[in-house]
């Protein structure tokens, strides 16, 4: 049980595995007015940057669960680096079936709603760990504008236009599921650039050091096509944001 090796190579320098800068992550933590001692659960927690930095800045406590052994180890190292290893715990495991032992104040899934087969299922999974008046955080892509054809859809890593919604429709979906949107923080094109372009640099550095690896041909092809594909399609059509939700 682990992520494909190509994913960890691609994001080897990333602390945040989404098109979100450290500055946006910090701004979101401030916007949520997190009280010291807030108990958080982060499913698909990646390298643990959200829990670690918020534990350091706001003195929250919490648990992160992620399928990647490498990212879980990085999260534990980051907690030690920031002096919050006594506040946050990181578990290597399948986040799709994880429910907290005790209700938490904040339950999050930032950019991995596949663990619940979509937004609705992930919200239901998180709800099982949340105290009645707690807050959910969902990170999710949305269409910045309607994709004109199936080629554009697939170039944005979707199989169907219906995989994502326009931003107003996504917000309406949260309401239909019984939640108020109480805060949101959206990626912009610069934060997308920082996320994607860093992947290309990571791949190139890895290729230079591992020219004979079994993944070299695959990653060389990716590096050759992805910058232009991203600039033509994903940068223009795909948005991404984190949405704070509270039950009605």
What are the distances in angstroms from CA 172 to CA 50, 116, 121, 176, 245?
26, 19, 16, 6, 12
Query: What confidence score (pLDDT) does residue 1 get?
Result: 73
What are the distances in angstroms from CA 82 to CA 41, 49, 75, 87, 116?
19, 10, 11, 11, 31
Neighbouring C-alpha atoms within 13 Å toward the C-beta of 17: 23
Burial class (CB in 10 A: 0-12, 13-18, 19+), 35: exposed
34 in Cβ contact with 55 (< 8 Å): no
Secondary structure percentages of the chain, helix, strand, coil, to 5: 45, 25, 30
Question: Which one, of 105, 238, 221, lies nearest residue 164 by Cα?
Answer: 238
**Number of residues written out for the chain:** 248
Q: Mean pLDDT of all residues in the chain?
A: 97
Q: What is the tens place of the pLDDT at every residue in 83-124?
A: 999 999 999 999 998 999 999 999 999 999 999 999 999 999
Q: What is the mean pLDDT of residues 32-53?
A: 98
Q: What is the tens place of the pLDDT at every residue in 197-227?
A: 999 999 999 999 999 999 999 999 999 999 9
pTM value is 0.95
């Amino acid at each position: 049980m682990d992520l494909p090796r190509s994913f960890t190579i691609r994001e080897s320098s990333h602390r945040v595995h989404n098109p979100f800068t450290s500055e946006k992550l910090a701004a979101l933590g401030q916007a949520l007015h997190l009280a010291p001692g807030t108990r958080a659960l982060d499913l698909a927690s990646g390298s643990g940057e959200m829990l670690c930095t918020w534990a350091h800045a706001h003195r929250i406590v919490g648990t992160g669960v992620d399928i990647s052994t490498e990212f879980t180890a990085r999260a534990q190292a980051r907690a030690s680096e920031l002096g919050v290893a006594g506040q946050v715990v990181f578990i290597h495991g399948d986040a799709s079936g994880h429910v907290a032992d005790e209700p938490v104040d904040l339950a999050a899934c930032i950019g991995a709603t596949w663990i619940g087969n979509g937004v609705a299922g992930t919200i239901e999974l998180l709800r099982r760990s949340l105290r009645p008046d707690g807050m959910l955080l969902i990170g999710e892509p949305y269409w910045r504008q309607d994709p004109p054809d199936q080629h554009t859809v697939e170039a944005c890593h979707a199989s169907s236009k219906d995989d994502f919604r326009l931003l107003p429709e996504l917000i309406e979906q949260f309401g239909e599921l019984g939640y108020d949107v109480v805060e949101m923080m959206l990626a912009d094109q610069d934060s997308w650039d920082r996320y994607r372009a860093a992947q290309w640099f990571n791949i190139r550095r890895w290729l230079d050091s591992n020219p004979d690896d079994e993944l070299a041909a695959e990653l060389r092809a990716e590096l050759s096509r992805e910058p232009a594909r991203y600039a033509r399609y994903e940068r223009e059509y795909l948005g991404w944001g984190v949405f704070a939700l509270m039950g009605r």
